[in-house]
Amino acid sequence: MTRKTYNGEKNNKERTMNKLIQAVGVVLEKEGYTGLSIANIAHAAGVDRKLITVYFGSVNHLIETYIKGKDYWIGITESVEARLQGYEDASTRVYLETMILEQMAHFSKNEEMQKVVTWQISEQSDIMSHVTQERERISSMFFPIADKELAGRAVDLRAVSSILISAIYYLVLHAKYTDSTVCEIDIRTEEGMARIQEAVKFILKATYGE
């Protein structure tokens, strides 16, 4: 006979917290960042609105928790840190190229994060300020190693990387909200996506002098 497991207060709390976190995504997808109110999130989660304050302290902290769990750069921080600890003679270009291309694939498919980034560039908020500061952890780990590899070369890898990453955000959002091409390239098609991927590789190889 299978013994029943008692779902105590801890499990109930974890389930409710998860419901609230997932509800942020539901509201984002349906109403955008302007709809992220306590009432809307609690309704989407099907729980008492008071539990947002009880479990997260504030609705802002709940929203920040959701975004950090979905953000590509924050999500890969630990894995990048582990890979860089074992760094020997491999080119940092490979690490950077992989991260940028993965970020492009992730962002192009994630409508919730598209709305988050739209929010980020549309208005100032403490939530997005905290998120962007967290994203920068990867920079503090990666670039010092790349600096050693590129020592003596007139290369500003930080500037090149910032242009590539920003361009990807723009291309994806432009395609989504204007339903049009950029320089006759439609990033929503496989061919268009492949052309941008090859351009990223070309730019990074040229930057590294390969």
Which of 103, 84, 82, 21 lies closest to 56 in space, CA to CA?
21
Give the residue ranges of the chain where pLDDT is below 70: 1-11, 85-90
How far, CA to CA in Å, does 87 sit from each of 92, 177, 183? 9, 40, 38
Instruction: Say if CB 116 and CB 67 are below 8 A apart.
Output: yes
pLDDT for position 8: 52
pLDDT for position 7: 52
Q: Global pTM?
A: 0.81
CA 158, CA 160: separation in Å to the nearest integer?
6
Residues ≥6 apart with Cβ < 8 Å to 68? 74, 131, 134
Q: Is 182 helix (H, G, I), strand (E, B) or coil?
A: strand
pLDDT for position 6: 45
